[in-house]
């Protein structure tokens, strides 16, 4: 059920952290879209009258009583925010959240309409409408007015379209909330649907479709859509393209957009969540002022319910060929909608048993048989259009060749649950853990919180909207049995990924080869095999001591309790969050790691084997709110243990013992190594811009190697190499450690002593110069890469002159200033691609800035010309709004951590940023803020001029990027390239 923690390649960790953080505001998967931006509209094309939003209608709406219902939801005892649910007279559901201490305000509005409502032959219309609402309103007709306002507030915004709903969301600095809500509300009152941008934004939808044409999640979903009931909404193409959104004789797509909006975007189909510093009364006034004008429309007819599969269609078995090396077996069982049983949570209870990863579990048995690497079980919810219970298994090569045996084990586990799993104590344990989790709930980011609560308002009664996911009330054995009865061989859809499949049948639009097979009878396991399966025993990690300790240390920053040559310990008792939790961070700097590609790969494999060994033991701890992770890095090993501190010492002891004395079983080695090799090879199957990113760090940083070389080196590494690595990785090493939270100084010292005994041997070796970054990549260097994708991509990386605070501050401010204009120019105005972004991207803490685009029709040379044109025009406007942009960056830097983990992360960043000879400076952020305040228009323009010098950049693309006349130095040999020039020595 849990995805097991895996060692992360240093490149992957950097890349995916950075891309994920950026794309949290830029890109969402599966028929989602980035907020659309447009140029000012010359002739306002007001659609308000066309959709019935006349002045008279607005006046009539405002004359009615504004509030018809008010409720205070149940909240966590640890939650200091104030909540109020109201329902407006127009039927709009609203949850108000007052948090005077928040440094980020946020809002989300969800409409209970999605791609299921797309007209026949006009698939993607709901998604297209989502794009269009960002492109100007009657009150704010300039197409980029909304995104520019959000950007200058230091915030973010986006939207996504699903089968049964569409969600719009934003975050801003608190002082900008009122203005953001004003602009946001106009989406749902009087959008423009300007014809020029209707025609232009179709290209953006087409680019989104083509950008993900080889995405395996979409390709497998297209196979699913091809074989299910064609009348079910889930069978529809949801993204849209130039064919489905084209104008037709006597039917313009703009008219269909307006009709769709007028039919479905009704106030009583919307839920809104707003979080701000204001009082509940002030938030209520803000919301009613702006959202009372949203019109309640006649409710359209509800389509008749359709089964996911036609009668007698099941059992059904399909194999498909993915683009990547995937070995997955997925069993989907159609089940009745379970949303009304949120008190009992029957499918969650079943998933907890079937997806358990502890000893004698289904996954444990599959691993012992050499059939699988990981497993997940849970509900796949289609909203009001049905549901299915899914068991997904990542197979080994043996499992790929023996799917019938894997299915036999799955059905044997289901039978075990039916026979022995319907016991009340299991329900009570889940309830106990959920109660603890709700009681000690930590703050989430406002943007994430409002999104999830906007959806909850459509699913749960208002009083339960905050705790619905934590409620376990009313154990019902008959209800469990009712759902278990659907998990049977004659009610299953089996989908298997097979990268070697040869098939003639192709799924529509995505051209995924697939083959429909006649299901075979389920095998019966031998008695001795079935006896391996046992249900979980009572969880020994359920925390018993949940007291928050009295404060014994009043230090405002971590203090160093141990300062030995090979062990340094920083400690701080938490007095801010008042939780019975702690975070323990450990960094082992080992001279045995990263010397060459062989030692780097040995560290990856060694950690993977240790994690595999620990999974059965640690899984109950994970369920009880106590987790850990071990990662191989270019320095050595990073270890984290976090959660309820009651059993932290026990878990840390097990982790350390496994690291020092692992079993390294030969029966598991081949499969673990094969899984890591497969992941590394799949790097070449990612979207083009991701592939360029994956090459960026190995081009400049060492020790670092491309993923293909990593995969080859793993293939040449044996179990004997790992055993040898295990004997030497802690020799002459150094350890830095942070203990932060609900632990006392004596406990921290005790843990540190344990760590020192296990992980340090001999005298530490000075490793200065081990990690370094090339900082003299001058002269217009470029790397051309071949990718297996029809889209082209370009990545241009610009390095700052130094890592001084002044350069860091200027780069952050420059990145903030160009983010929205770059997107507006390349994506919205020129429609060069769906994936477009610019942002700060430090490598090894050295400041840099990146410009990125992926295009279905422009080649790398055309993209570079567009980038150059943007940069050449930048002096005309850069620093015109310097104070606003500076305030946005300052707000991000000055934002206080929202929870224990974030605060620990900040402390750890400072500790890890210096070597053993350096002095930890917990005031680096303050120094950066000071430098940021000293930036002025002249210094920013001067900095930008130097940074964007064509002779001072590294260009990576999927084809030729320069004209034949340009003097360009092509990078072909990474080793010699990285050895040349000046380097930044990483502490």
Question: DSSP readout, 737-757?
Answer: EEEEES--HHHHHHHHHHHHH
C-alpha 74, offset from chain centre: 28
> Could you tell me which CATH number the domain at 772-899+917-985 has?
3.30.830.10
Q: How do the domains of the chain map onto residue ranges?
A: 33-214+249-291, 316-522, 558-661+675-759, 772-899+917-985
Find residue 86's DSSP bridge partners. Answer: 70, 94
User: What per-residue confidence (pLDDT) applies to 952?
Assistant: 80
Would the pTM count as exceeding 0.85? yes
Question: Is 3.30.70.890 the CATH number for 558-661+675-759?
Answer: no
Distance of CA 399 to CAs 368, 412, 496, 500, Å?
A: 12, 16, 11, 14
Q: Spell out the CATH class of 33-214+249-291.
A: alpha beta
User: What per-residue confidence (pLDDT) applies to 791?
Assistant: 93
Query: How many CB atoms are located within 10 Å of the residue 545 CB?
Result: 10
> E strands along 464-533, which residues?
493-497, 505-506, 513-517
| Terminal-residue alpha carbon distance, the chain | 39
Angle formed by the axes of helices 195-211 and 253-264, nearest 10°: 90
User: What per-residue confidence (pLDDT) applies to 6?
Assistant: 36
User: What per-residue confidence (pLDDT) applies to 53?
Assistant: 33
* Nearest partner of 294 among 207, 191, 384, judged by Cα: 191
pLDDT in tens, 971-984: 888 888 888 888 88
Enter the DSSP assignment of 232.
S
Q: Report the distance separating Cα 948 and Cα 359, nearest Å.
A: 57
Query: CB–CB of 978/700 below 8 Å?
Result: yes
Q: 187 in helix, strand or coil?
A: coil
* Nearest partner of 115 among 212, 32, 187, judged by Cα: 32
User: What per-residue confidence (pLDDT) applies to 916?
Assistant: 61
Parts of the chain with a pLDDT under 70 = 1-65, 777-780, 915-918, 963-967
User: What per-residue confidence (pLDDT) applies to 212?
Assistant: 93
Identical fold for domains 33-214+249-291 and 558-661+675-759, yes or no, is yes
- Classified by CATH at the fold level, domain 316-522 comes out as Cytochrome Bc1 Complex; Chain A, domain 1 (3.30.830)
Query: CB–CB of 285/96 below 8 Å?
Result: no
Query: CB–CB of 541/618 below 8 Å?
Result: no
Query: CB–CB of 771/923 below 8 Å?
Result: no
Enter the DSSP assignment of 828.
I
pLDDT in tens, 616-665: 999 999 999 999 999 999 999 999 999 999 999 999 999 999 999 999 99
Residue count of the chain: 987
């Amino acid at each position: 059920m849990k995805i097991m923690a895996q060692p992360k390649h240093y490149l992957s960790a950097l890349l995916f952290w950075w891309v994920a953080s950026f794309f949290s505001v830029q890109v969402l998967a599966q028929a989602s879209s980035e907020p659309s931006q447009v140029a000012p509209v010359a002739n306002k094309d007001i659609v308000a009258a066309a959709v019935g939003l006349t002045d008279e209608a607005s006046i009539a709406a405002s004359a009615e009583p504004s509030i018809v219902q008010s409720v205070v939801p149940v909240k966590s005892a640890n939650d200091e925010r104030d909540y109020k649910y109201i329902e407006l007279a127009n039927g709009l559901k609203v949850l108000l959240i007052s948090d005077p201490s928040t440094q980020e305000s946020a809002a989300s509005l969800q409409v209970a309409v999605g791609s299921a409502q797309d007209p026949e032959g006009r698939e993607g219309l709901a998604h297209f409408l989502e794009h269009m609402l960002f492109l100007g309103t009657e009150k704010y007709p300039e197409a980029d007015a909304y995104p520019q306002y959000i950007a200058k507030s230091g915030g973010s915004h986006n939207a996504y379209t699903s089968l049964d709903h569409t969600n719009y969301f934003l975050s801003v600095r608190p002082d900008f909330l009122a203005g953001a809500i004003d602009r946001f509300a106009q989406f749902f009152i009087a959008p423009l649907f300007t014809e020029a941008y209707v025609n232009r934004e179709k290209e953006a939808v087409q680019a989104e479709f083509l950008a993900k044409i080889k995405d395996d999640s979409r390709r497998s979903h297209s196979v699913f859509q091809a074989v299910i009931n064609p009348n079910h909404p889930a069978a529809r193409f949801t993204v849209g393209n130039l064919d489905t959104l084209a104008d037709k004789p006597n039917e313009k797509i703009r008219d269909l957009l307006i009709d769709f909006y007028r039919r479905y975007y009704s106030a009583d189909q919307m839920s809104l969540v707003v979080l701000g510093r204001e009082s509940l009364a002030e938030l209520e006034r803000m919301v009613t002022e702006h959202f009372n004008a949203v019109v309640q429309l006649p409710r359209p007819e509800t389509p008749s319910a359709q089964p996911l599969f036609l009668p007698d269609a099941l059992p059904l078995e399909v194999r498909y060929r993915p683009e990547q090396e995937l070995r997955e077996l997925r069993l989907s069982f159609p089940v009745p909608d379970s949303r009304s049983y949120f008190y009992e949570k029957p499918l969650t209870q079943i998933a907890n048993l079937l997806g358990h990863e502890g000893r004698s579990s289904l996954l444990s048995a599959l691993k012992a048989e050499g059939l699988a690497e990981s497993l997940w079980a849970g509900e796949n919810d289609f909203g009001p259009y049905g549901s299915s219970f899914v068991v997904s298994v990542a197979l080994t090569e043996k499992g790929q060749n023996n799917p019938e045996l894997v299915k036999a084990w799955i059905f044997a586990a289901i039978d075990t649950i039916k026979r022995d799993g319907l016991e009340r104590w299991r329900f009570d344990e889940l309830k106990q853990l959920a109660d603890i989790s709700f009681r000690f709930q930590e703050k989430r980011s406002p943007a994430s919180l409002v999104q999830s609560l906007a959806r909850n308002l459509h699913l749960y009664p208002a009083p339960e909207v905050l705790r619905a996911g934590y409620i376990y009330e009313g154990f019902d054995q008959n209800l469990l049995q009712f759902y278990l009865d659907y998990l049977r061989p004659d009610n299953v859809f089996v989908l298997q990924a097979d990268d070697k499949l040869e098939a003639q049948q192709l799924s529509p639009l995505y051209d995924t080869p697939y083959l429909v097979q006649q299901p075979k009878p389920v095998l019966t396991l031998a008695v001795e095999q079935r006896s391996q399966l046992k249900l979980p025993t009572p969880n020994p990690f359920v925390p018993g001591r949940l007291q928050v300790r009295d404060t014994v240390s009043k230090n405002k920053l971590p203090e160093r309790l141990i300062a030995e040559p090979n062990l340094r310990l920083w400690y701080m008792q938490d007095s801010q969050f008042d939780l019975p939790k702690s975070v323990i961070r450990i960094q082992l700097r080992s001279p045995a790691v990263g010397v060459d590609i062989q030692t780097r790969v040995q560290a990856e494999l060694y950690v993977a084997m240790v994690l595999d060994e620990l999974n059965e033991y640690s899984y109950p701890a994970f369920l009880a709110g106590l987790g850990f992770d071990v990662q191989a890095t270019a320095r050595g090993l990073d270890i984290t243990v976090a959660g309820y501190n009651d059993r932290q010492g026990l878990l840390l002891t097990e982790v350390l013992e496994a690291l020092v004395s692992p079993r390294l079983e030969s029966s598991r080695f081949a499969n673990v190594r094969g899984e890591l090799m497969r992941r590394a090879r799949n790097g070449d199957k990612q979207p083009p811009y991701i592939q360029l990113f994956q090459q960026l760090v190995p081009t400049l940083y060492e020790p670092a190697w491309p993923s293909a070389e990593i995969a080859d080196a793993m293939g040449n590494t044996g179990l004997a190499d790992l055993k040898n690595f295990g004997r030497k990785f802690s020799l002459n090493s150094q350890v830095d450690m942070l203990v932060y939270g609900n632990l006392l100084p004596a406990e921290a010292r005790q843990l540190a002593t344990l760590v020192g005994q296990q992980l340090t041997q001999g005298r530490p070796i000075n490793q200065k110069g081990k990690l370094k970054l090339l900082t003299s990549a001058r002269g217009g260097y470029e790397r051309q890469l071949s990718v297996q994708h029809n889209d082209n991509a370009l990545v241009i990386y610009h390095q700052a002159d130094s890592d001084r605070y002044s350069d860091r501050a200027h780069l952050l401010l420059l990145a903030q200033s160009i983010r929205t204009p770059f997107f507006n120019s390349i994506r919205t105005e020129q429609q060069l691609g769906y994936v477009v972004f610019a942002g700060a991207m430090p490598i090894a803490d050295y400041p840099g800035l990146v410009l990125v685009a992926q295009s279905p029709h422009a080649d790398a040379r055309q993209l570079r010309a567009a980038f150059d044109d943007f940069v050449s025009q930048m002096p005309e406007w850069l620093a015109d709004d310097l104070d606003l942009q500076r305030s946005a960056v300052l707000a991000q830097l000055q934002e206080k951590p929202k929870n224990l983990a974030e605060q620990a992360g900040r402390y750890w960043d400072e500790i890890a940023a210096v070597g053993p000879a350096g002095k930890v400076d917990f005031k680096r952020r303050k120094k950066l803020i000071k430098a940021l305040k000293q930036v002025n228009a002249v210094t920013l323009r001067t900095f930008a001029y130097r940074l964007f010098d064509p002779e001072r950049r590294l260009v990576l693309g999927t084809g030729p990027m320069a004209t034949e006349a340009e003097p360009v130095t092509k990078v072909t040999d990474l080793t010699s390239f990285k050895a040349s020039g000046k380097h930044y020595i990483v502490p």
